[in-house]
């Protein structure tokens, strides 16, 4: 990948964007179902020169429901389903009822870490999420956002049906 291509990325929320939302915490690999079209959308974004970075809140860790090993098992399953094109996977283990964390969206520390690690230009990056807090985290660091799925309404936000539609939109913008 040339230097210009490494200056941009797509940040991806996990549950509801990459895998099916099940109404509770998704931490068992058998409950982790990659949504239709996600592997192909990620492949298209990767081929277009975008870094792919997952940023996900995992409050179930702070609540003692599961641990980092379960999150990593789900992420390994995601990588396998998507052909290993995801460059980094960040997760925030905290929950406001248990501990404070700047990692947890709508705060932006996960994004800040990736921006620094990969020397990304925020103006050339996107964040695809299914909640207002996802886009709020991106906005804190100057990253444009796209809501997908049955997202909470957010005035002025671009809302598309799913990740494949978001990938098409992002690629058309370059």
What pLDDT, in 10s, does the model give residues 31-77? 999 999 999 999 999 999 999 999 999 988 888 899 999 999 999 99
CB neighbour list of residue 77: distance below 8 Å, 6 or more residues apart: 29, 32, 34
Q: What percent of the chain has pLDDT over 70?
A: 93
On whether the CB atoms of residues 48 and 174 are closer than 8 A, the answer is: yes
Question: Region 148-155: what's the mean pLDDT?
Answer: 82
Cα 104 to Cα 92: distance, rounded to the nearest angstrom: 5
The answer to whether 31 is a known catalytic residue is no
Q: Which of 15, 87, 134, 162 is flagged as catalytic?
A: 15
Q: What tens digit of pLDDT does each residue of 87-97 get?
A: 999 999 876 66
On whether the CB atoms of residues 155 and 136 are closer than 8 A, the answer is: no
Tell me which residue has tokens 């103006």: 123
Q: Would you say domain 5-173 falls under CATH 1.10.3720.10?
A: no
The answer to whether 13 is a known catalytic residue is yes
Q: Which of 13, 87, 134, 162 is flagged as catalytic?
A: 13
Tell me which residue has tokens 């207002």: 132
Sequence length of the chain is 174
Angle between helices 38-47 and 163-173 (to 10 degrees): 20
Largest CA distance in the chain: 44
Per-domain residue ranges of the chain: 5-173
């Amino acid at each position: 990948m040339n230097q210009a291509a490494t200056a941009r990325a797509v940040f991806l929320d996990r549950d509801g964007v990459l895998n099916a939302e099940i109404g509770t915490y998704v931490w068992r690999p058998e409950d982790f179902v990659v949504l239709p079209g996600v592997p192909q959308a990620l492949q298209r974004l990767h081929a277009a020169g975008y870094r792919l970075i997952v940023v996900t809140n995992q409050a179930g860790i702070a609540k003692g429901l599961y641990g980092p090993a379960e999150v990593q098992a789900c992420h390994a399953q995601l990588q396998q389903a998507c052909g290993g094109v995801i460059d980094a996977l960040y997760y925030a283990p905290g929950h406001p009822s248990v501990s404070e964390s700047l990692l947890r969206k709508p705060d932006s520390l996960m994004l800040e870490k990736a921006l620094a690690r990969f020397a990304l230009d925020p103006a050339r990056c996107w964040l695809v999420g299914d909640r207002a807090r996802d886009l709020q985290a991106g906005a804190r660091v100057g990253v444009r956002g796209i809501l997908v799925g049955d997202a909470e309404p957010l005035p002025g936000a671009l809302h598309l049906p799913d990740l494949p539609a978001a990938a098409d939109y992002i690629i058309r913008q370059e």
